Amino acid sequence: MFIDLRSDTVTKPTQAMKEAMFEAEVGDDVFGDDSSVLALEQKAAQMFGKEAAIFCVSGTMTNQLAIRVHTQIGSEVICDKYSHIYLYEGGGVALNSLSSLKLLDGDRGRLTAQQVRDAINNPEDIHQPITHLVSLENTMNKGGGCFYNISDIQAIKQVCVENNLKLHLDGARIFNALVETGESPQQYGELFDTISICLSKGLGCPVGSLLIGNKDDIKKARRIRKAMGGGWRQAGFLAAAGTYALDNHIARLRDDHLRAKQIGSILEGLPFVENIYPIDTNIVIFELPKTLLASDFVEKAKESGLGCVVFGKHLVRFVTHLDFSDTHLSIFEDKIKKIA
Ligand SMILES: *Cc1c(COP(=O)(O)O)cnc(C)c1O
């Protein structure tokens, strides 16, 4: 059996999710009359205490739409150097928004208010691009799934308000943070102008992300999405999976976090494990000795029936998810010990 921990995107819909999809009432979403899409968008907006939401094909698309909405040609966006919007979106900020990024060196991808304040360009200086947006990521993928203290975000929000900057959240895994902190989505809705959430990660949907914000911003995003070719028709079959996941798959993320910690304990004793990043949610990153390349390790793991990804020259990432049970964990243990 192949134990696939390459990402939490590899999950397949559960039987109950498939039934919800099969039963979905659909329409034509470009005409705005797919009731399942409308229900999902409304539900997500309400959860975060916002006015509106737009259902999209990917988290890359929802982030890119947000950045486009909040910037002008030649803007600068402040984010951490580990950000998904910088590392993993194909240079989309340059392509879609003709804007540049100011990359900061945070704590495992988390910024402080002081760092943000110091990074804002002087709008009177014509040498410098005008700072229009701050983008945070929570949980932080490249930082090993760590999450922010909400007080740090509140302080960043204050800096944004004082400097007339918009604040966007790449919340692909925001629910992984919320189940750990006990905070509510509304608290996040109050702090951010726009929030992107992924349904296809820990929540276990086959496809989909939502951008959540005020009516005006989401209306603009809808126009840009159409121009990008992202208008879709009977998308309600996918939206129904999203609604099902928001109702049923949030609380269980704690199980993924527990299993990630158990993977950490298993790794601790192994000879090829030099160092393990702190495990805060469902992401496990460990470091190999300098004599071992992550690419070689990942290849060997694959031959042994374990899926993981290269996360740096000597770094390997595992991600736990809905299709990784306690039974799979014990198979994982056998397999990884054999690699050793
Ligand atoms: C997965 C992910 C996204 C979006 O990825 P897509 O594959 O485009 O859906 C955005 N941000 C973070 C932090 C992610 O992990």
Query: pLDDT tens digits for 40-69?
Result: 999 999 999 999 999 999 999 999 999 999
Ligand 1, pocket residues at CB < 6 Å:
58-60, 63, 84, 137, 141, 170, 172, 198, 200-201, 209
Which of 201, 205, 282, 321 most suits a substitution to test ligand 1, by most atoms within 8 Å of the C-beta?
Answer: 201
**Nearest CA-CA partner of 198 in 182, 211, 184:** 211
**pLDDT (0 to 100) of residue 320:** 98
Distance CA 7, CA 190 (A): 30
User: What ligand 1 atom has the least distance to the C-alpha of 201?
Assistant: 1
**pLDDT (0 to 100) of residue 129:** 98
**pLDDT (0 to 100) of residue 340:** 77
User: What ligand 1 atom has the least distance to the C-alpha of 60?
Assistant: 8
CA of 15 to the centre of ligand 1 (A): 25
Distance of CA 64 to the CA centre of its chain: 13
CA of 61 to the centre of ligand 1 (A): 9
Instruction: Flag residues of the chain having pLDDT under 50.
Output: none
CA of 202 to the centre of ligand 1 (A): 11
User: What ligand 1 atom has the least distance to the C-alpha of 137?
Assistant: 13
- Which residue segments constitute the domains of the chain, with CATH numbers given? 15-248 (3.40.640.10), 252-339 (3.90.1150.10)
**pLDDT (0 to 100) of residue 232:** 97
44, 55, 180, 214, 273 from 246: Cα distances, Å = 8, 13, 17, 20, 36
CB 58 within 8 A of CB 201: no
Q: Is the pTM here over 0.95, yes or no?
A: yes
> 3-class SS at 317?
strand
CA of 200 to the centre of ligand 1 (A): 9
CA of 171 to the centre of ligand 1 (A): 9
16, 19, 20, 23 alpha-carbon torsion, rounded to 10°: -160
